[in-house]
Structure 1
Amino acid sequence: MSVDDEPHIICFKHCSNHVFVLKVPIRCPLCNQPLEQCEKFLPFSLPYPFSNASQSPCSVVLRPAVGDFLSDFHNNTNLHIALTDSQGAIVEFDSPGLLRTRNADRKLWGQCLLILSVPEAWFYHWDSTIQRLIEEQGWQHRIYDDEKLNCYSFVLAFLRLLLYEPIATFIDNAETFSRQLIVPKTTQAAKYITIYRRIKQFGILSEPDLL
């Protein structure tokens, strides 16, 4: 599936079930009744949990290290975290070292979880803090270590330097940061991914109490 396609999951209630599809059918797939004859037929789209990192300025973004969320995410998937600046450029610390990429590859960054974003009033300070981190703390000269100095180390160092009060108590260490900010987002995304994959496999998904 192309990352340019956002698979919006549609849900409606019929036959005492929540029915999930990618396209509204003419007839109920459970009872074959024409849905247009149902007075209370009210389909709605589930909130799409992913964002294009390049269109999410001044944010912390998360993606699988390999592949994308809908196709490749599992509980043991390695995740890669990065920053965006006010222009949507990706600023990251990875095995090649410090990278800053404008016009980022949508295959890599078109389907991300938005972990944190700041109000526009913070954009200048956000950009300035990125420059301070790179120039004053020498991240362009640091050598990546998968365990001790990785993408999470870089993002946490940035957030501590940013002094953004709403997350001040969540950035003491990687465990707290992950528990408070990352796990809630990945848990919600996992629900969407599960529904999406079951629809792709069976054509529809019907559950009485899934929502």
Structure 2
Amino acid sequence: MDRTVIKYRHCERDIYSFSCSRYSCTQKTDDVDRSGCPICHQTLSFGVLDAPVALTCPFMNAHQVPCAFVIGSVHGPSYLGEWHDTEIHVGVSNSGGLVYNYTLSGVQRDDRGWEQCVCVQLVPPWRHDLRESWDRQLEEFSALPQWVSERFDEEREFGSCCYGFALTFINRMRSLDGKVSLSRDEFTGSYILPRMKTVSKYIKIYHTILQHGFYKLDST
């Protein structure tokens, strides 16, 4: 999903495409393709408020997002939509972008493989003290007997696995920072679901453009 999605307004609708053309993706930013609106087929012209803007892609390279909760899928970002019945995998990045994640082989420390993920950065850039503590605590936490490979099936039986590893560490850091722990439902509801709804909408728009050349959203 490496193409930029463009949003513009025409025919009283929000229209999404890979360019201002019905069928082709142009790389030019200062020369609008004049093939016309995919709805009314008239030549495109825009006022200031209707002009094309690029949508922010919800997927990030977790190796470039420090101290974050990261969500990925072995099948790629298209499978992170909320309607997909696929197993996702989560982890926690350190300040250098190394992703710690709990697997059947124990805790892995990945320096690649998490390039298109949903990332929730949990430490503000100005909290240098917390970043240093985060790295030290994450390494110590990962070495605990609770996260050895032999206990993976046991953790999976209780619905923990990678999510339990990540959330338990996050709550450990929250406690050290004087904050209350969060239940799985609280963390999911506050930090995960809002992002996953945005991701699902983006994926729907992206694949509709691939199939039909554009996606339209009628005014309500």
Q: Matched residues in 2 for 1:166 and 1:16: separation?
A: 49
Match of 1:192 in 2: 202
Q: How big is the shift at 1:101?
A: 1.8
Q: Matched residues in 2 for 1:166 and 1:115: separation?
A: 18
Match of 2:12 in 1: 16
Match of 2:140 among 132, 143, 166: 132
Cα deviation per residue 1:151-187 (whole Å; 9 max; x = unaligned)?
Answer: 0111122112112689945623x23322222111111
Match of 1:175 among 185, 194, 216: 185
Q: How big is the shift at 1:93?
A: 0.3
- TM-score when scaled to structure 1? 0.82
Segments of structure 2 that go 5 or more residues without pairing to the other structure are 22-32
Percent pairwise identity: 27
Which secondary structure does the structure 1 equivalent of 2:152 belong to? coil
Match of 1:67 in 2: 75
1:42 lines up with 2:51 in the alignment:
yes
1:76 lines up with 2:85 in the alignment:
yes
Match of 1:113 in 2: 118
- TM-score when scaled to structure 2? 0.79
Structure 1 segment 65-104 matched on structure 2, within 5 A: 66-70=74-78, 73=81, 74-102=83-111, 104=112
Q: For residues 39 and 119 of structure 1, do their structure 2 counterparts lie closer, same or farther at Cα, with a shift above 3 Å needed?
A: closer
How much is the aligned-residue C-alpha RMSD, in angstroms? Answer: 2.5
Match of 1:163 in 2: 174
Q: How big is the shift at 1:143?
A: 2.2
Q: Matched residues in 2 for 1:164 and 1:51: separation?
A: 28
Does the 8 Å contact 2:70/2:90 carry over to 1? yes
Q: Matched residues in 2 for 1:68 and 1:14: separation?
A: 32
Segments of structure 1 that go 5 or more residues without pairing to the other structure are none
